[in-house]
C-alpha cells in the first residue's frame, strides 16, 4: 500500500476518534475546550507521520487536511449532541450515539448561530499542530542545507592583498 494512502487513512481514523472523544468530553462536561482542537491536530499529525513513515510536504498537507476534517466533525458532533441532549434529556453517551447515527440537516442553522471567531481560531491552531507534528521532533521543519551559515558579527575575514 502506498505510504501516502496509509498516512491518509491513519489521519482520517485519528481525526474521527479524536472528534468523537472531543464531542463526548464537551457534551458530558458542558464546556467546549478549544485547546482540544490543538490536541486533535497533534494526534492527527502524529498518526499521519507514524503510518506513512515519511516527513514530506505532501504528508504534512494530508495531516493538515485530515485535522481540519476532524476538528469540524468534532464541532458538528458537539453541536448536534448538545441539542439532542437538551431536547431529549438523554445522557451524554446516548446523545452522542444519536448524533453519530443520524445526519441533522438543522446543523447548519444551529452552527451558524453558535460558531464564533474562537472556534475558527482554535481550528486554525489545530491545523497548524497537525502540520507541525507530522514530522519527527528531531527533524527540522525546513531543510537546513538551503541556508548558508552566518559569520559572527565583527569577525569578518580580511583578504590579504
> How far apart, in whole angstroms, are the C-alpha atoms of residue 122 and residue 129?
10
Which residue in 64, 62, 40, 65 sits closest to 52, CA to CA? Answer: 62
- The per-residue pLDDT for range 60-87, each reduced to its tens digit, is 888 899 998 888 888 888 877 777 777 7
Contact 48, 79 (CB under 8 A): no
pTM for the whole structure: 0.71
- The per-residue pLDDT for range 101-150, each reduced to its tens digit, is 666 666 677 667 777 788 788 888 888 888 887 776 555 554 544 445 55
> How far apart, in whole angstroms, are the C-alpha atoms of residue 143 and residue 66?
24
* Every domain of the chain and the residues it spans: 3-137
Amino acid at each position: 500500500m502506498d505510504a501516502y494512502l496509509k498516512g491518509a487513512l491513519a489521519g482520517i481514523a485519528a481525526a474521527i476518534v479524536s472528534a468523537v472523544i472531543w464531542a463526548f468530553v464537551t457534551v458530558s462536561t458542558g464546556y467546549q475546550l478549544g485547546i482540544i482542537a490543538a490536541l486533535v491536530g497533534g494526534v492527527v499529525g502524529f498518526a499521519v507521520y507514524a503510518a506513512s513513515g515519511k516527513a514530506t510536504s505532501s504528508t504534512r498537507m494530508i495531516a493538515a487536511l485530515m485535522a481540519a476534517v476532524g476538528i469540524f466533525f468534532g464541532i458538528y458532533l458537539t453541536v448536534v449532541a448538545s441539542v439532542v441532549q437538551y431536547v431529549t434529556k438523554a445522557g451524554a453517551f446516548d446523545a452522542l450515539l444519536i448524533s453519530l447515527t443520524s445526519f441533522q440537516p438543522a446543523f447548519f442553522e444551529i452552527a451558524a448561530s453558535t460558531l464564533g471567531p474562537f472556534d475558527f481560531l482554535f481550528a486554525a491552531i489545530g491545523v497548524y499542530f497537525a502540520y507541525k507534528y507530522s514530522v519527527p521532533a528531531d527533524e527540522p521543519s525546513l531543510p537546513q542545507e538551503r541556508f548558508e551559515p552566518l559569520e559572527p558579527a565583527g569577525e569578518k575575514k580580511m583578504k590579504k592583498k
